[in-house]
């Protein structure tokens, strides 16, 4: 099926955005080193420090599934869960993606 695009929208509990970003930053190098990870970026809303987004690109769905089941992601979820008020994961299929 090809590349797998992901956006994960995450809302920290009020005032917990900085603590959540610290947990996320510690995990980023582990994710970027995974086989099949082509892009993994953490973004913070310009007007809301408690609203974050991961923008991800995976080689294929199998690489994403392996990522979600990896030991460091289980640890990440354990550490981040007390800081997260809500999260929504979106998985996308490319319709028209070019190079710029």
pLDDT digits (tens), the chain, 100 positions: 689 999 999 999 999 999 999 999 999 999 999 999 999 999 999 999 999 999 999 999 999 999 999 999 999 999 999 999 999 999 998 888 777 7
* 12 vs 98: CA distance, rounded Å: 33
CATH number listed for the domain at residues 4-92: 3.30.70.100
* 91 vs 72: CA distance, rounded Å: 20
Cα-based angle 6, 7, 13 (whole degrees, multiple of 5): 140
């Amino acid at each position: 099926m090809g590349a797998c695009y992901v956006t994960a929208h995450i809302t920290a509990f009020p005032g917990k955005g900085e603590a959540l970003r610290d947990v996320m930053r510690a995990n980023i190098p582990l994710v970027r080193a995974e086989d099949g990870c082509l892009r993994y970026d953490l973004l913070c809303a310009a007007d809301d420090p408690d609203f974050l987004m991961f923008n991800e690109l995976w080689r294929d769905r199998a690489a994403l599934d392996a990522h979600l089941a990896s030991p460091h992601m289980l640890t990440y979820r354990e550490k981040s869960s007390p800081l997260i008020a809500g999260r929504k994961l979106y998985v996308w299929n490319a319709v028209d993606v070019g190079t710029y």
